[in-house]
Chains A and B, each alone.
Chain A
Amino acid sequence: MSALNIKKGANKHSAYNLRPTFSDVEERHTLAVLVDNEAGVLARVIGLFSGRGYNIDSLTVAEIDYEGHMSRITIVTTGTPQVIEQIKAQLGRIIPVHEVHDLTVEGRAVERELALIKVICTGDKRVEALRLADIFRTNVVDSTLDSFTFEITGTSEKIDAFTDLMRPLGLSDLARTGVAALPRGT
């Protein structure tokens, strides 16, 4: 029997890419995951995403109920609708996970992110940085004669816009918290 004469690099697709029955359009979803605040719970969630090849755009986690030992993990992820459904189902399988909410489909949600932005500049640039910071309603939380550190809160898009403006003015360091989100209304 002869060799199949397969050209090197001719096959980029694996069996897992043959998914004609599902949509290929990627969506961005914000998930709220309520978990027992026990050792390793974050590792389980992150391990699920890395192990199954899902994306994490941002992730925030903190204890929200000290007595009940509950933490809230907010994950922003992108994927096809089928992958998003899988992510939610897989999260639901993790034993310490109590609830999984898809804030993107469960009605409107408030999403906020906080960032600290250090800008090093002098002269006109320093004036311009402060002026823009004022427009974006940031707080100056630290200042030297040649630097500012701004605190900004808002949607991720707002923070993106502000950092884009600061970059040519001397942005030196940036720390972002990732998205925290809650559904609107009662």
Chain B
Amino acid sequence: MTRQMTGAKMVVQALKDQGVEVVFGYPGGAMLPIYDEVFQQSDIQHILVRHEQGAVHAAEGYARSTGKPGVVLVTSGPGATNAVTGLTDALLDSIPIVVLTGQVPTFMIGTDAFQEADTVGITRPCTKHNWLVKDTAKLSATLHEAFHVAVTGRPGPVLVDIPKDVQFATAAYTPKQKARISRYQPQVKGDLESITELVAAIETAKRPLFYTGGGVINSGPAASQLLRELVEATGFPITSTLMGLGAYPASGKSWLGMLGMHGLYEANMAMHDCDLMINVGARFDDRITGRLDAFSPGSKKAHIDIDPSSINKVIKADIPIVGDIAHVLEDLLKVWKSRGRKINTEAVAKWNARVDEWRKVDCLSFKQEGPTIKPQYALSRLEALTKEHDRYITTEVGQHQMWAAQYLGFEDPNRWMTSGGLGTMGYGFPASIGVQMAHRDALVINVAGEASWMMNMQEMGTAIQFNLPVKQFILNNERLGMVRQWQELLHGERYSQSWSEALPDFVKLAEAFGAKGIRCSDPADLDDAIMEMIKYDGPVIFDCMVEKHENCFPMIPSGEPHNKMLMGDASTKDAIGSKGAVMV
């Protein structure tokens, strides 16, 4: 017998059927029936955020750290528009989230009703797909379909807009098992002929390189395992994008570190000089490629991606393989093993020796001297003192984010949550809340800059209310550091609007919320202060006063190829040509 229930009850029932344990949200007029149902159950925990943007980033943090979709409830109008940044962020980084928005009743749509916005219209370009449900009879099936679309293929954000009268009306509930099998079933198995072609290239390559991305993480733990097996078996060096950190362990012997604009010297040099580039789940982002006409000029490029539109978008792939990373790597390993596990041993050994020479440049070296903490030093100490912990790292966006990617080591996937594609300042703090909700006993640290952090600092209330011991490790240079760096390099040191005036006292701010505040400005005190932060059972704002004018290096200036990096000590005068100046 089918069960009759209201639309609002269907929402809660569908979430339960989908295995949802936590939702992030903020109530409002058009969501009241659903919130009434949320009130009358205890299977799903609702985390009340302080701003809808925070809800979406928290859901992203939850999703990235668990591999499960994050769920958000927000109201119509401003609730929905405040979610737009988070949706766009999730779209660019391929994070599965399901956002449910309230809407004015169907008979009022189009009348400029109170808190009415064309939510599906506004979010059409920033979701993988969205639905406006005008009939309660279709609501439950649509919700199941929404989860399917969010997690299948290349993951992404979806949105279901639910008018208030649809929430009140009654209809039959369609269980998950009985929901229409979706036509949306992207190809997961790679073409075997192309895979064999790649194996042949692997067998003969003299200077091979793995270039991996967030697709490996999104594909699931099996993909990371297979990647590790492949890298260990071949001995090829491996680098990764910002989004892919942790898929291969930072302690692995083939690890080169992150590549790209602020990537490591050895990673970028290897990208430039390789003869076989194996792109595994990355998308040739402009932060990675730098100048396109000088991008890895001598290499044959294989590209494995689940999204056909990623292939040949900016870089022509010689061996394109459309499929899920885990499936493709499994087949790749099978074929390679069946053909005798061949590699060009002598040439690869020579190549690895060359890579080792680049490693010796030690591009991340820095000198901590004088009375001021260098941000690199702060992160090195944070790494040393926390790496043995069950640790999850989120970041905001800017210099601190790049330093975190450079100086922190990730041994496992799903441990690193950062806004890569959209570069959303204000991402990290709410994301850390989402991560902590999924991993209550873990050490969750948001590496932040003071400017980014203040973009969503209202979420302190959420952290306190739900007793989430998130550590806000703020590298405070009283500057918009990355903006300042570009102004120094590109705009004649005219620092237009790039300093943080009138900053709060972060220690007092923490105390005002009922959290702990720690300030540290002396390098000699840093270790003790970090230990104090780790040991405190509750949210901490750590105000780490750092060198104000430190620049983030290495850096590939805009418009330059990979082998023209700026290093820390080198002169940066006129480093960026006029052609590079127009790029972001």
Which residues of chain A have a CB within 8 Å of any CB of chain B? 1-4, 6-7, 10-11, 13-15, 18-22, 39-40, 43-44, 47, 51, 82, 85-86, 89-90, 92-96, 98
How many residues of chain B are within 8 Å of chain A by beta carbon? 42
Output the least CB separation between B36 and chain A (Å): 28
Complex contact B311–A43 (CB within 8 A): no
Complex CA gap A93/B124 in Å reads 13
Complex contact A22–B316 (CB within 8 A): yes
A12 closest partner in B (C-beta): B582
Complex contact A15–B183 (CB within 8 A): no
Q: Judge whether B581 is part of the interface by a CB distance below 8 angstroms.
A: yes
Contact pick for B183, options A2, A10, A98, CB 8 Å: A98
B310 closest partner in A (C-beta): A89
Complex CA gap A14/B582 in Å reads 6
Could you list 13 further interchain pairs (A-B, Cβ under 8 angstroms) beyond the known A1-B492, A10-B578? A1-B573, A2-B492, A4-B492, A4-B574, A11-B581, A21-B292, A22-B316, A39-B132, A43-B124, A86-B312, A92-B309, A93-B308, A95-B128
Contact pick for B573, options A2, A11, A18, A89, CB 8 Å: A2
Q: What would 27 A/B residue contacts be, using CB atoms closer than 8 Å?
A: A1-B488, A1-B489, A1-B573, A2-B492, A2-B574, A3-B494, A4-B491, A6-B578, A11-B581, A14-B582, A15-B286, A15-B559, A15-B583, A15-B584, A18-B293, A19-B292, A20-B293, A21-B315, A22-B316, A40-B124, A43-B121, A43-B124, A44-B124, A47-B124, A86-B309, A89-B308, A90-B309
Contact pick for A4, options B311, B314, B315, B576, CB 8 Å: B576
The 4 closest A-B CB pairs, nearest first, are: A3-B492, A89-B309, A11-B582, A95-B129
Q: Judge whether B558 is part of the interface by a CB distance below 8 angstroms.
A: yes
Known: A2-B492, A3-B491. A13 touches B578 (CB 8 A): no
Complex CA gap A96/B572 in Å reads 50
Complex CA gap A92/B311 in Å reads 13
Complex CA gap A2/B120 in Å reads 49
A92 closest partner in B (C-beta): B308
Complex contact A1–B307 (CB within 8 A): no
Q: Judge whether B357 is part of the interface by a CB distance below 8 angstroms.
A: no
Complex contact B579–A95 (CB within 8 A): no
Complex CA gap A47/B120 in Å reads 13
Residues from chain B with Cβ under 8 Å of A43 in the complex: 121, 124
Complex contact A15–B313 (CB within 8 A): no
Complex CA gap A4/B313 in Å reads 32
Contact pick for B309, options A47, A51, A93, A95, CB 8 Å: A93
Residues from chain B with Cβ under 8 Å of A93 in the complex: 307-309
What 0/1 readout, one digit per residue, does chain B (82-113) give for beta carbons within 8 Å of chain A?
A: 00000000000000000000000000000000
A51 closest partner in B (C-beta): B125
